[in-house]
Amino acid sequence: MFYHVTEKWDGGDLVPCGNPETFAERWPDAGELAQVHAHVVHLYSNVADAVRHAAWFCGGAGDILTIDEDAIDWHTDDLEFPHPVCARVPAHAVRRLDGEVAR
């Protein structure tokens, strides 16, 4: 099981922001990492890291999503710390942490 944090999941596929400028705007300390990070969906391998990210990024109010790791083609990104990433997460592999699908 992997985890992803988003401000509000709309029930669709999870896709990268795709725009390094948007990524750099959200994470100004990312610097040149934005060029690489903007093209993958970032995941966590444990819920504790996802909860910490939600507290920092969304003030604790974002959606923590669970991802069926067997349903995606993922690899490990080691740039700032080891974590799973992938090009896209299909909606059928995503659930909210509480088990609900998007409304």
Whole-number pLDDT of residue 34: 66
Give dist(CA 50, CA 65) in Å, integer. Answer: 9
Whole-number pLDDT of residue 100: 57
19-51 pLDDT tens trace: 677 767 777 777 777 677 778 898 999 999 998
Give dist(CA 90, CA 5) in Å, integer. Answer: 15
Whole-number pLDDT of residue 88: 93
4-23 pLDDT tens trace: 998 889 999 999 876 677 76
Give dist(CA 20, CA 25) in Å, integer. Answer: 8
Residue 103 has pLDDT above 60, yes or no: no
CATH number for 2-96: choose from 3.40.50, 3.20.170, 2.170.270, 1.10.3470.
Answer: 3.20.170
The three-state (H, E, C) secondary structure of the chain, written as one string: CEEEEECCCCCCCECCCCCHHHHHHHCHHHCCHHHHHCCCEECECCHHHHHHHHHHHHCCCCEEEEECHHHCCEEEECCCCCEEEECCECHHHEEECCCCCCC
